[in-house]
């Protein structure tokens, strides 16, 4: 099967120069920020699937924040304050990684009260409205008003913050000024910033290769799955010490205040296991998310994460990603138990192509040294918009390159986000996107193409075409290349018991209180979905629902085909029957 | 009466502790948590919780020293009775007071912070009563034992002897019966507290994460290992 592609060579410093260590596979994501319209559909569908339960009202496994802005939770990127992720310290002349929030002893010492734990106000106090007054209010001249009520205390409250309070730069310069990323770039920049640009940054857990959340968990309840790299919390072993919450620099582990356990984005692993994309990817309006495999050398992770200059972290992470076409890599992958269909998937991986072949995807905050695996194609739109605003041709290569040259502000900002402040890689990516834009205009207008445009950015006409196809018109199967999980171990994947399908979990519909407090006691398990049912759904045009009619609507089970069970009351069925 | 109290009860306590913990582990792993309320309020927690927990750790160590090490051993290494009692009084009083202050702050916080109070179950409230009773009677015996209040009493000749005799399955009822009522009450409160551990949130004490100091930072687990076995029975096939 897997045939090596002679066009691919191993990069310098890559796998070719020394024997490949333990080869591991990771499901990774790329988001193309140019296409994000900030509609929050991804956040809402994710919430419907995973966190529409008591205790997780404030939790958004997927959130979309406007940049510049404070983010969610507020100012989470300020690691001097929150102390998430890793830091490099010099010990006996050698660089070593240490948890920024303190080592093991310190963790145990502060276990009774985590000093870096964000409060509910740092996220936001979730609320609902007192809708009943609308119906029950006595007749009067005034319109009745549904007052907001806190979902935490039940009291009437004033709404003062939310997960996207500063959406579209709402709140203006006052709020924007507290953006920790903005604070890093110089002062005069800040002033003109808002006129300069704005874009959306959808965020999920990064499913890091070197996850500091896992390293921070005193109970050892968090783990990285060795098959696909998904980072999960074992709900049976979590004891609620909350160290993961503060340990994650992206603040993507949340504390369920009703169950007393940590929860996080699961990369929709019940779906990934059967080859379906995550709910956020599936429902993304801009179709800007890509999912695919990355093979990496696990033995070199620590070394790569500890390079001295944070600006080298991007290259270091690229370096440990192995070329799935390299025969030596294929051999190592087989040696380490990676099945052939997974290797093929890795060769087709859009993530690998975008990150390593075309080098247009960048990691978010590599300086946290967790080796994040959700990468981003930085937006060219600010540059384009700026040119258009000044009345120039925004598809002209010269104009675009000139503007990239001139617009230092957005580039330094993007560099603070994606390359630890190094503008060069961001610059290079934007140039490639600009080249693609003007080159493809010629193609679309039927003009003669100009090979010097791709040459200018170090690409060939073919690779530029291929990149265009992947970015602009890629079909479902090309955007999501996800091999199904293997069951050779003998266990049938009958029951996708998931780390959250406990009482009140997405797979559950019974909520209540056990004898030892909220959600204690033996949960009555309800499967999220079955392997076969999902398979049927995946390949059918008609609805194929589980027989359990009273299962509540759960978008986790929905792949967009047919009508999900429970979406409408079953009048129709009654008529039929 | 004495026989029943000081022979049967401790063994019943032990049985309930072991059996209860095993039962809880088997049936309620998911409910086995600290049920932290730090998300709601952390200003008071930051003072009260360490004060209480660290105080309690010292108290536990004090109990082990006082109950397990026979008087003759400390005599043998030349620690005089007075010296022993002064250190026990000083350490015990400091630890006891910080535990008591800690729990007072925590209970105040629990009562006055709306969301924290809402998250308090009846089970929690009962547990607090037992816990406070054990702490208060314990502090009282510390003071009584050293003769600060009332008549001095050397518990190492009564309670400790009885405690050690439990483990040789030959309970020395007379030793315990000779202890003043205050000590007997504290012992009963202590037994009650021990029984309640597996059945309340106190159970989190058993998951003190010492293993964290020794394990590698990054935990890898195979997909199969991560799948809880007990839950495969609900397949709808
Ligand atoms: S982004 Fe995800 S994997 Fe990375 S440290 Fe945070 S919670 Fe862990
Ligand atoms: S659904 Fe897609 S386009 Fe909409 S906010 Fe999310 S990532 Fe952006």
SS3 A201: strand
Looking at all shown ligands, the one closest to residue A289's CA atom is 2
pLDDT tens digits for range B180-235: 888 889 999 999 999 999 999 999 999 889 999 999 999 999 987 644 433 322 22
For residue A153, list chain B residues with Cβ-Cβ distance below 8 A: 114-115, 118
Q: Which of B33, B56, B99, B128 to mutate to test the interface with A (most CBs of A within 10 A)?
A: B33
Q: Is the CB of A33 under 6 A from ligand 1?
A: no
- Phi, psi of A513, rounded to the nearest 5 degrees: -115, 130
Residue A506 in contact with residue A259, Cβ under 8 Å?
Answer: no
CA A218 to centroid of ligand 1, rounded, Å: 16
CA distance B1 to A262: 48
Averages of pLDDT over each 10 residues, chain A, 577 residues: 42 58 96 96 94 91 94 94 94 88 90 92 93 86 89 91 90 84 72 69 97 95 94 93 95 94 94 93 95 96 94 96 96 95 96 96 97 96 86 89 85 93 95 94 92 94 95 93 73 43 40 48 39 49 41 58 63 46
In a domain, A77, yes or no: no
What mean pLDDT value characterizes chain B?
86
The Cα B63–Cα B57 span in angstroms is 10
Question: What pLDDT, on a 0 to 100 scale, did the predictor assign at position A561?
Answer: 67
Cα–Cα dist B177/A372, whole Å: 65
**A261 and B53 in contact by Cβ < 8 A?**
no
Pick A226's closest partner by Cβ from B220, B232, B236: B220
Number of other CB atoms surrounding residue B169 within 10 Å: 8
Contact A224 B29 (CB under 8 A): no
How high is the pLDDT of residue A199? 92
Written as six digits, the tokens of A369 are 């040294």
* Contact yes or no for A97/A305 (Cβ under 8 A): yes
Q: Is A525 within the bounds of a domain?
A: yes
What does the pLDDT read at residue A257? 92
Starting from the CA of residue A365, give the closest ligand.
Answer: 1
Quickly count: other Cβ atoms within 10 Å of residue A505's Cβ.
25
Chain B residue closest to A515 (CA)? B123
Of the residues A251, A301, A520, A557, the best mutation for testing chain B's interface (the one with the most B CB atoms within 10 Å of its CB) is: A520
Q: Ligand 1 pocket, A253 CB below 6 A?
A: yes
Residue B218 lies in a domain: no
Is A19 within 8 Å of chain B by CB? no
Supply the pTM of this predicted model.
0.85
Measured from the Cα of A222, ligand 1's closest atom is 8
Structure-block tokens of residue B111: 């009562």
Q: Tell whether A46 is covered by a domain.
A: no
Ligand 1 centroid from CA A188, angstroms: 34
Number of Cβ within 10 Å of residue A401's Cβ equals 19
pLDDT of A86 reads 96
Residue nearest to atom 6 of ligand 1 (CA): A248
| B-proximal residues of A, 535-554, CB under 8 Å | 546-548
- The C-alpha atoms of residue A510 and residue A271 are separated, in whole angstroms, by 23
Q: Do A113 and B46 touch (CB under 8 A)?
A: yes
> Residue A158 burial (CB < 10 Å; 0-12/13-18/19+)?
exposed
Angstrom CA distances, A520 to A262, B28, B186, stand at: 15, 6, 31
User: Which residues in chain B touch residue A522, judged by CB atoms under 8 angstroms apart?
Assistant: 27-28
CA A295 to each of CA A22, A223, A322, B89: distance values in angstroms, whole numbers, following the listed order: 10, 19, 5, 63
Task: Name the minimum distance, in Å, from the CA of A219 to any CA of chain B.
Answer: 5
Interacting residues of B205 by C-beta distance below 8 A, sequence separation 6+: B197
Count of structural domains within chain B: 1
Closest CA to A28 of A325, A361, A254: A361
Question: Residue B26 pLDDT more than 90?
Answer: no
Query: Quick one: which atom of ligand 1 is closest to the CA of A247?
Result: 5
Give the nearest chain A residue to B37 (CA atoms): A257
Say if residues B20 and B200 touch (Cβ distance below 8 Å): no
Which domain, by its residues, includes A519? 492-577
> How many domains is chain A built from?
1
Name chain A contacts of B121, Cβ cutoff 8 Å: 513, 516-518
Closest CA in chain A for residue B212:
A218
pLDDT, position A223: 96
Instruction: Tell me, yes or no, whether A498 lies in a domain.
Output: yes
Where residue B185 sits, what CATH number does that domain have?
Answer: 1.20.950.20
- Whether residue B13 is contained in a domain is answered as yes
Whether residue A250 has its Cβ less than 6 Å from ligand 1 = yes
Looking at residue A568, what is its pLDDT?
A: 62
- Report the nearest-CA residue for atom 2 of ligand 2: A284
Q: Cα separation of A260 and B33, whole Å?
A: 6
Please report whether residue B216 resides in a domain: no
- A379: Cβ below 6 Å to ligand 2? no
Whole-number Å distance, alpha carbon A120 to ligand 2 midpoint, is 25
| Inside any domain, residue B228 | no
The complex scores an ipTM of: 0.86
Residue B118, domain extent? 2-32+41-209
């Amino acid at each position: 099967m897997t045939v090596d592609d002679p066009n691919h060579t191993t990069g310098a410093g890559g796998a070719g120069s020394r024997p490949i260590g333990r080869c591991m596979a990771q499901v990774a994501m790329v988001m193309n920020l140019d296409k994000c319209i900030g509609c929050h559909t991804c956040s809402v569908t994710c919430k419907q699937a995973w966190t529409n339960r008591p205790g997780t009202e404030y939790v958004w496994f997927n959130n979309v924040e406007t940049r510049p802005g404070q983010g969610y939770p507020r100012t989470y990127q300020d690691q001097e304050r929150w102390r998430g992720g890793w830091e490099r310290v010099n010990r006996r002349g050698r660089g070593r990684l240490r948890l920024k929030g303190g080592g093991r002893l310190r963790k145990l010492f502060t276990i009774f009260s985590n000093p870096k734990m964000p409060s509910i106000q740092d996220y936001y106090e979730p609320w609902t409205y007192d809708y009943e007054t609308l119906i029950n209010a006595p007749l009067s001249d005034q319109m009745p008003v549904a007052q907001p009520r806190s979902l935490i205390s039940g009291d009437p409250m004033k709404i003062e913050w939310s997960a996207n309070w500063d959406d579209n730069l709402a709140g203006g310069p006052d709020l924007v000024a507290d953006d920790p990323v903005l604070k890093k770039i110089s002062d005069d920049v800040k002033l003109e910033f808002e006129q300069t640009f704005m874009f959306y940054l959808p965020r999920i857990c990064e499913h890091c290769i070197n996850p500091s959340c896992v390293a921070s968990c005193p109970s050892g309840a968090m783990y990285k799955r060795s098959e696909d790299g998904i980072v999960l919390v074992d709900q049976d072993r979590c004891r609620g010490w909350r160290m993961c919450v503060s340990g994650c620099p992206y603040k993507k582990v949340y504390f369920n205040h009703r169950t007393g356990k940590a929860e996080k984005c699961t990369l929709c692993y019940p779906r990934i296991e059967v080859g379906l994309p995550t709910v956020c990817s599936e429902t993304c309006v801009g179709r800007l998310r890509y999912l695919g495999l990355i093979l990496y050398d696990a033995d070199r992770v620590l070394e790569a994460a500890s390079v001295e200059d944070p600006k080298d972290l991007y290259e270091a992470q690229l370096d440990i990603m192995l070329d799935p076409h390299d025969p030596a890599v294929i051999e190592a992958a087989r040696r380490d138990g990676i099945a052939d269909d997974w290797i093929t998937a890795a060769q087709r991986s859009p993530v690998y192509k975008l990150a390593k072949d075309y080098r247009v995807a960048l990691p978010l905050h590599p300086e946290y040294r967790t080796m994040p695996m959700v990468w981003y194609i930085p937006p060219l739109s600010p540059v384009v918009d700026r040119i258009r605003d000044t009345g120039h041709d925004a598809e002209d290569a010269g104009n675009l390159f000139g503007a990239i040259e001139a617009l230092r502000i957005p580039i330094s900002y993007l560099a603070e986000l994606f390359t630890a402040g190094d503008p060069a890689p961001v610059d290079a990516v934007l140039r490639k996107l600009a080249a693609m834009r003007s080159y493809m205009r010629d193609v679309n207008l039927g003009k003669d193409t100009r090979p010097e445009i791709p040459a200018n950015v170090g690409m060939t006409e073919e690779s530029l075409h291929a990149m265009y196809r992947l970015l602009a018109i890629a079909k479902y199967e090309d955007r999501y290349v996800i091999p199904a999980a293997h069951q050779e171990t003998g266990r049938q994947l009958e029951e996708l018991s998931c780390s959250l399908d406990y009482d009140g979990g997405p797979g559950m519909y019974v909520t209540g209180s056990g004898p030892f407090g909220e959600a204690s006691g033996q949960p009555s398990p309800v499967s999220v979905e079955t392997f076969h049912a999902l398979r049927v759904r995946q390949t059918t045009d008609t609805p194929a629902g589980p027989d359990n009619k009273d299962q509540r609507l759960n978008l986790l089970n929905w792949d967009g085909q047919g009508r999900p069970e429970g979406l409408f009351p079953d009048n129709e069925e009654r008529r039929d029957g | 009466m004495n026989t029943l109290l000081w022979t049967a009860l401790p063994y019943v306590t032990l049985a309930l502790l072991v059996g209860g913990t095993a039962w809880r582990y088997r049936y309620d792993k998911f409910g086995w948590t600290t049920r932290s309320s730090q998300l709601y309020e952390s200003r008071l927690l930051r003072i009260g919780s360490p004060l209480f927990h660290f105080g309690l750790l010292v108290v536990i160590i004090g109990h082990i020293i006082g109950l397990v090490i026979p008087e003759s051993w400390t005599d043998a290494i030349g620690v005089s009775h007075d010296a022993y009692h002064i250190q026990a009084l000083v350490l015990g009083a400091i630890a006891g007071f910080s535990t008591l202050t800690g729990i007072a702050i925590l209970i105040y916080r629990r009562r006055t912070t709306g969301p924290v109070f809402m998250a308090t179950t009846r089970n929690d409230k009962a547990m607090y009563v037992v816990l406070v009773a054990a702490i208060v009677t314990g502090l009282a015996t510390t003071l009584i034992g050293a003769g600060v209040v009332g008549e001095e009493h050397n518990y190492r000749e009564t309670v400790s002897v009885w405690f050690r005799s439990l483990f040789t399955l030959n309970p020395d009822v007379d030793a315990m019966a000779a202890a003043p009522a205050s000590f007997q009450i504290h012992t009963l409160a202590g037994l009650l507290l021990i029984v309640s551990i597996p059945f309340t949130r106190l159970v989190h004490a058993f998951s003190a994460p010492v293993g964290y100091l020794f394990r590698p930072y990054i935990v890898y687990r195979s997909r199969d290992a991560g799948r809880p076995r007990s839950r495969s029975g609900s397949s709808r096939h």
